[in-house]
């Protein structure tokens, strides 16, 4: 009998040598296995829309990872990207339909950084491609010259919206410290999303899917990085894992749906 939920983890399509390959960072896999107490399965970015239904039927949760690539701007009717911007068309073609299908089916979703941006696009929102060039916003990028612990160290406070999903996970704290390693950010919020937290400059940095049937949270920062050392990160992955366990019980026929969960 299955004892742990299965979480699909989105992959980037990249070249290893001359070979197209599908890659997910170890930090995400570790956070799923140890933080959510689940089995992590890397989902290749093959771009087959029709696979979404099969994937949804086989897993108990989905984690959409961060990436160095940007969502292609035509996905949200944005202006062309600057020359040299990294895109991943195969990932877009995989994750965008899959994310919406998961939410509609009541599959728990945790979307991180690029995944957070994907969530906004899926719900009809738009993105700033370079937040640091937009008047009134801070520079949210990391310095590539710093070591990883510095890059992923606390960068700024978040103002947490009272009464929301993130507020509950943060034990009703009004502010929390997070890291910051992104150039893209939300421009127009997607319809059907609820703001959960903002950076000091007003940039939206956490959202939930309004009235979702299961856990559906997107965060702009990286809670997976050394998650065990941060109370909020632990709470996020624990709640995600609990939701995936509930989904597993439903999918395997060993339990009934918990109608008490609805995203705020």
Active-site amino acid positions: 113, 222, 224
Q: In this structure, are strands 39-43 and 6-10 parallel, antiparallel, or unpaired?
A: parallel
Question: Structure tokens of 41?
Answer: 């399965």
Kindly give the interhelix angle for 51-58 and 89-105, rounded to the nearest 10 degrees. Answer: 50
Helix (H, G, I), strand (E, B) or coil at 110: strand
The answer to whether residues 238 and 168 touch, using CB atoms and an 8 Å cutoff, is no
Nearest to 176 by CA among 140, 129, 214, 223: 223
The answer to whether residues 109 and 103 touch, using CB atoms and an 8 Å cutoff, is yes
DSSP alpha helix (H) spans, the chain: 26-30, 51-58, 89-105, 114-122, 148-151, 165-169, 231-251
Question: Structure tokens of 235?
Answer: 């709470």
From CA 191, how far away is CA 64, in angstroms rounded? Answer: 19
From CA 125, how far away is CA 11, in angstroms rounded? Answer: 23
From CA 51, how far away is CA 124, in angstroms rounded? Answer: 22
């Amino acid at each position: 009998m299955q004892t742990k939920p299965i979480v699909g983890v989105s992959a980037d399509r990249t070249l290893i040598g001359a070979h197209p390959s599908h890659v997910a960072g170890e930090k995400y896999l570790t956070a799923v296995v140890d933080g959510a107490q689940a089995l992590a399965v890397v989902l290749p970015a093959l771009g087959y829309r029709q696979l979404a239904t099969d994937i949804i039927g086989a897993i108990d949760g989905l984690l959409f990872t961060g990436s160095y690539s940007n969502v292609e701007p035509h996905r949200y009717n944005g202006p062309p990207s600057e020359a040299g911007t990294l895109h991943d068309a195969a990932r877009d073609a995989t994750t965008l339909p899959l994310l919406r299908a998961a939410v509609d089916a009541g599959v728990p979703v945790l979307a991180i950084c690029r995944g957070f941006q994907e969530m906004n696009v899926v719900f009809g929102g738009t993105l700033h491609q370079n937040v640091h060039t937009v008047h009134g916003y801070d520079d949210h990028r990391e310095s590539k010259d710093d070591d990883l612990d510095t890059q992923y160290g606390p960068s700024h406070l978040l103002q947490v919206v009272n009464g929301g999903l993130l507020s509950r996970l943060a034990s009703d704290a009004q502010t929390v410290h997070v890291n910051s390693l992104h150039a893209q950010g939300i421009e127009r919020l997607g319809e059907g999303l609820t703001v959960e937290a903002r950076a000091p400059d007003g940039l939206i940095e956490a959202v939930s899917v309004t009235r979702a049937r299961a856990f559906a949270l997107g965060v702009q920062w990286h809670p997976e990085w050394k998650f065990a050392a941060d109370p909020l990160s632990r709470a996020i992955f624990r709640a995600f894992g609990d939701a995936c366990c509930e989904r597993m019980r439903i999918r395997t026929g060993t339990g009934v749906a918990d109608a008490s969960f609805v995203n705020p």
